[in-house]
Structure 1
């Protein structure tokens, strides 16, 4: 069944001895309160429910100045054989090589579903030049911002990650409303992020597609960072050597409660974020940001993770920070982080990275993120 299995229905919580702490809202959300263990959202991708999944439509990417643009196109996002596919393609395949250096990309359309979803920086229209090419890769990012958001619960996503140099798959959660202010003050939950490189090495460890990371991000404002790297808030997990997360489906799981968030893969815990005395103290912001007010001081101890969050699933490419300049790849990283023409450097290195995507093999399955199902249960 595509979409939320309980969308529009009322929970049977009157039969519960103790009601769940979980809440949910949106066009596909069931009416609460819920019983513990109620399945409150499910998509098994027997079809592509565009009422559930809204596409982002922007040239601005996610948060790291990546090199793709997100669009609503069945070349880049589609359902086949019961799986969701998010597949990167090349802009030149549609517009030709000269277009990258002289064309104009404008993502505004004539209908509400075609409006630009992220305006800054230069997210709705760009002009290519010889010094700065247009976004050379098309991809997709889908989200449940209008259809389903929830607070507290258990999540399981069965997914197979894409392989290919500098691909960046992610499944994450963002706040439905920014109750504590702009990112990262209202928080971000990364169920998983990974790097698509098959053989990316740091300190003797494969940090490419054999590693996934689960993280909570939070902070008073973007200038002071997102709490990334704060002790006990980010966890990595490596597969067996040669059996990366692109070789089969794995179950990525999260338990989100009023005092902790636990990440697991295939029922094996990756790590638990314990709230302790609160995320202001956990991020050490009382010392690192003197004179800045704690934005969560009037929230619960779990703030900012005490609000409803929605799903986001995306495949990005490159970026300004996520891929380190120092990690070792069989072919060199073609751009430098922070370079003003990083996107051009990336495109100029296509003879190295493009063959690793295997776009012409098996309908680009290797380079595609595949999702079998998404499920959420009440606590």
Structure 2
């Protein structure tokens, strides 16, 4: 290592002052130093500020164009402020009618067991007006609870009853009045005799339908159902609501709220299989004028389908709107706002329609609603079911290899004869059914504020 005395330090280096003194041939630089020379002795270039100091003329301030520019800036700024205020006001008054209010949880079920004090089986043979090919039962093969939740599973009639395939086709009478299981009073819903000449067949599939009718219903509120959908061609799962009292008349006059409807077909099905689900309102003066197409929308999942796992299917309903959502209220699939100035009768343009050369009267004219939302101003109860097939257009004719024609006399036969094609698509065990893990129902308003 070098001795300390051998190392040149900044203090020992010659300064510009000494350099200029020793080598100076120009007299002007002799003896001149600055603060920069003292702190930065090796600097080659000194900083020189060009900032103006003191008073100086500003001729541009007197330019008339500058005054005009100032006024323009003020005008633009005022208009921008007014625009922001206007946008805020519009947003406020748009959102205010749809603001989140108070809700009271009136029912919650995580299906540790099937609570028959709340849930009732609806047993019929005729598909409840849809023409589906299933016979709904109370049998444990079709409805049961395990650690996963409530299962609603379709089964084959000739595998779960003593009825043979030949008897399903001909000369067998199935009478649900005899054992008292039928929940309808109509003969066509409770009794059938298989007859090949008439095209009558014992339903080849058995399934189940559960409802909270007479037990739990809401007039405005929220419903959430956490469920996993079935897989299998021509299977039709649904989570929906019907009015407790059909005060406006037969369907669809008194309305229907479909929180979730889907088809169990594969992703390749042209109408959308189990990778789609729909939220829909049904309403109209007659079944032929049901205006559901104005109030329906589908949600498609990009990967997989709704049978791969559980999803929460939800609906929120007030006097001013109904909307449907998936998993979270921020994931809306359809929003329907009601307007007093344009009630549903006007929205459907029913006054321009006629049946049998008679104009359609307004079935909701006596409603006391002040938001134009009738028939959705009454109490509705919840339904969970899994149907199979239909003759009402849910599965379109000649689409996706559909083996029957809705209006054909032998529609149910054609469906059953194609079992070798559709049965292998059904999932094993309870996968062919809908599994419901949780149900929640809220009534609008604070708890205890009204009679539920």
Same fold (TM over 0.5): yes
**The residue matched to 1:346 in structure 2 has which SS?**
helix
2:390 to 312, 319, 326: 319
Where relative contact order (Cα < 8 A, 6+ residues apart) is larger, the structure is 1
Q: Which has the higher helix share?
A: 2
The answer for the alignment partner of 1:55 in structure 2 is 121
In the alignment of these two chains, the number of paired residues is 328
2:374 to 303, 308, 313: 303
The answer for the alignment partner of 1:166 in structure 2 is 234
| 1:99 pairs with 2:167 | yes
**The residue matched to 1:195 in structure 2 has which SS?**
coil
CA distance in 2 between counterparts of 1:225 and 1:51 reads: 37
Cα gap change, 1:317/1:115 in structure 2, threshold over 3 Å: closer, same or farther? Answer: closer
The answer for the alignment partner of 1:71 in structure 2 is 137
Deviation by residue 1:192-230 (Cα, 9 ceiling, x = unmatched): 10000013433xxx60100001100011122x3321212
The answer for the alignment partner of 1:372 in structure 2 is 437
RMSD after superposition: 1.6
Cα gap change, 1:196/1:48 in structure 2, threshold over 3 Å: closer, same or farther? Answer: same
CA distance in 1 between counterparts of 2:218 and 2:409 reads: 39
Cα gap change, 1:123/1:185 in structure 2, threshold over 3 Å: closer, same or farther? Answer: same
Shift of 1:116: 3.5
Unaligned runs of 5+ in 2: 1-100, 445-452
| 1:269 pairs with 2:320 | no
1:235 to 279, 297, 301: 297
Q: How does 1:15-26 map to 2 (within 5 A)?
A: none
**The residue matched to 2:292 in structure 1 has which SS?**
coil
1:86 to 135, 149, 152: 152
TM-score where L is the length of structure 1: 0.83
**The residue matched to 1:38 in structure 2 has which SS?**
strand
Unaligned runs of 5+ in 1: 1-34
The answer for the alignment partner of 1:25 in structure 2 is none
| 1:157 pairs with 2:225 | yes
Shift of 1:109: 4.3
Q: How does 1:250-269 map to 2 (within 5 A)?
A: 250-267=311-328, 268-269=331-332
The answer for the alignment partner of 1:249 in structure 2 is 310
Q: How does 1:110-125 map to 2 (within 5 A)?
A: 110=179, 114-117=181-184, 119=186, 122-125=188-191
